[in-house]
Amino acid sequence: MAGSRFHQPSVLPGFGLTFGFTTFFLSALVLLPLAALVFMAASMSWGELLRVVTSARAVGSYRLSFGASLLAASINLVFGFVIAWTLVRYRFPGRKLVDALIDMPFALPTAVSGIALTSVFAQNGWIGRYLSLLGIQVAYTWIGVTVALTLIGMPFMVRTLQPAITEVQRDLEDAAETLGAGRFYVFRRIILPTVLPAMLTGFALAFARAVGEYGSVIFIAGNIPRKTEITPLLIVIHLQEFDYRGAAALGSVMLVMSFVVLLTINLIHTWGRRRLVAAAC
C-alpha cells in the first residue's frame, strides 16, 4: 500500500523527501563549489599549475598551515581532554560559566580573537612581555599561528569529548581499581580506549577548522612570506592580484591535502572499530 510508507516507525516521516533534501544541499553547497574550484584550476596548463603550487612561497605556506594545524590539533587533544574531563567529572562553582566560555571562540568573529590574541602576546602585551624576557616571541611567528589555531579548534575537541567522557562510568574505574590497577593503568587501559573514537573525531574537526582558519591568524602571524604566511592568506593575495586561477590551484592543493588527512583519520577510526569486532569472532 502506498500510504503505508507514512506509518513507518520513524520520528521524521518521508524518506524520499529527506533524502532529496540531503542530496540537494550537499550538491549545491559543497560539491558544486568544490567542483568549480577544481575546474578553474584545471584550466591552467600543467607547467603553469606546477609552478604556482610548488613555488617556494607556496611550499612554505603549506608547511606552516598544515604543520601548525596538526600541532594545534594535537595540543587540543591533550588540553581539550583535560578541560572536558574537568567539566564532566567535577562540580565546582562557576562550572556553567566555564562551560559557556568554551563556546566563545565559536561565536566571536575570528578577526576579533586574532586582534585580542595579538595584543596579549605582542612584545608589550600582558603575556608577551614576560615571554619575551625568556627570549620567546609569540606574535608574528609560527608560535603565534599555533596559538591562534589552538584557540579556534578547542571548542570542537571539548564538545566532541564531553559526551564520550560522560560514558566512562565511574563503576568501570572503580572495578579496575579494586582489581589492582593504578591510576595511570586505569587511564591507559580503560578510559583512553573508551574515549579514543571521540578523540579522533575531535582531532579531525579541530584540524579541519584550523587548516581553513584565516581571520584570526593573519593578525598574529605577521605574514612574512615563506615564514609566517599561511596558505589561505596566499590565496587571498593571489585573488587581490586578480590571479583567480593561481588561487584556485592553491585551493585545490589544500582540498586534496585536507581530504587525505581527514580520510586517514577516518580510516584509523574504522580500523579501530573493526579490530574490536574482529576480536569478537
CB nearer another protein, residue 112 or residue 175 = 175
Position 90 contacts another protein (CB under 8 A): no
E strands of the chain, at which residues?
A: none
Mask for 157-196, x = binds another protein (CB under 8 A): ------------x-xx-xxxxxxxxx--x---xx--xx--
| DSSP H/E element including 87 | helix 56-89
Does 280 sit near another protein (CB under 8 A)? yes
Shortest separation between residue 165's beta carbon and another protein, angstroms: 15
Q: In the bound complex, what is the minimum distance in angstroms from residue 190's beta carbon to another protein? A: 6
Q: Give yes or no for a contact between 74 and 202, defined as CB atoms under 8 angstroms apart.
A: no
Residue type, 238: H
CA-based torsion, 34, 37, 42, 48: positive or negative: negative
**Residues between 126 and 155 with contacts to another protein, criterion CB under 8 A:** none
Residues 167, 270: Cα–Cα separation, whole Å: 20
Which CB atom, from 63 or from 273, has the smaller least distance to another protein?
A: 273
Element (H, E) at 271: helix 244-280
Q: Which is nearer to another protein, 9 or 180 (CB)?
A: 180
Between 110-121 and 142-167, two packed helices, what is the crossing angle to 10 degrees? 120
Indicate the residue among 42 and 192 with the shorter CB distance to another protein: 192
- Interaction pattern, residues 194-213, with another protein; x per rule: CB under 8 A: x-------------------
Cβ–Cβ < 8 Å for 184, 153 = no
What are the respective helix, strand and coil percentages of the chain, to the nearest 5? 80, 0, 20
Task: Name the minimum Å distance from CB 169 to another protein.
Answer: 7
The number of residues that bind another protein (CB under 8 A) is 21
- Closest CB to another protein among 12 and 179? 179
Q: Would you tell me which residues interact with another protein (CB under 8 A)?
A: 169, 171-172, 174-182, 185, 189-190, 193-194, 276, 279-281
